[in-house]
Amino acid sequence: MRSTWRDRDRDFQKHLPDGETTQSQLQMILLKTQTDNKPIPGLDPDSYSQCYGSQQSIDCDEVYPGIYIGDVATAKNKLYLNKLGITHLLNCAAGQGFGFANTGKNFYQDTTIRYLGLPLSDFITTDISKYFYTAAEFIDEAVSTGGKAFVHCMVGMSRSATCVLAYLMIKKEMLAVDAIQTVRKNRCIQPNMGFIRQLAQLDNQLRRQRL
């Protein structure tokens, strides 16, 4: 039987035994969790300059098995993406103009990479939550089939990190605190305050559903 709006309202009102997850709690976890120093995935530091050129900048970290977060310059480095074995690319800053990465499906048409673009601005007022499940399904499509997902925005700290955190919470059933610690240990991320608030709301919603 399908749940009714009344059922969902009751779920939303369920008491959480450990209390509500708050934005301030998640911000504190971000501040307390230290990022480990790790080599660039997929590259031999000794041969990096010979293979990719001293002017070629790579900014990429594997934050969970099969999931990489990086910046827009790395997203455009198709040689590197191929070396990593990336099968799915999620652009969390799709669009034109300042603060956006205007790549798109056509940019990757000479590869086998599946592309998805989300038109997100890095503002505290942006409703990123409406894309949480879309992003989670796309990333899960890669990971669950043995592929690899590269998730990026402009610098790989806010929009992309938020979408990966949502994936871990939705598909891997991690609490927001655990998801943040997992990703932050592998990459220095900093979702904006509005995104952190929406992750706290998602956490409360998922915890109620699992009661």
For 70, phi then psi, to 5°, come to -155, -175
Residue pair 201/20 in contact by the 8 Å Cβ criterion: no
Question: Which of 51, 153, 163, 188 does the annotation list as catalytic?
Answer: 153
CB 136 within 8 A of CB 92: no
Enter the tokens of residue 77: 């480095």
51 in catalytic set: no
C-alpha distances out from residue 203 to 22, 74, 150, 158, Å: 9, 30, 24, 18
Q: Give the H/E segment covering residue 74.
A: helix 72-75
Q: Which residue has the tokens 């706290």?
A: 200
Helix (H, G, I), strand (E, B) or coil at 90: strand
Burial of residue 78 (number of CB atoms within 10 Å: 0-12, 13-18, 19+) = middle
DSSP 114-178: EEEE------TT--GGGGHHHHHHHHHHHHHTT--EEEESSSSSSHHHHHHHHHHHHHS---HHH
76 vs 108: CA distance, rounded Å: 9
Just list the catalytic residues: 153
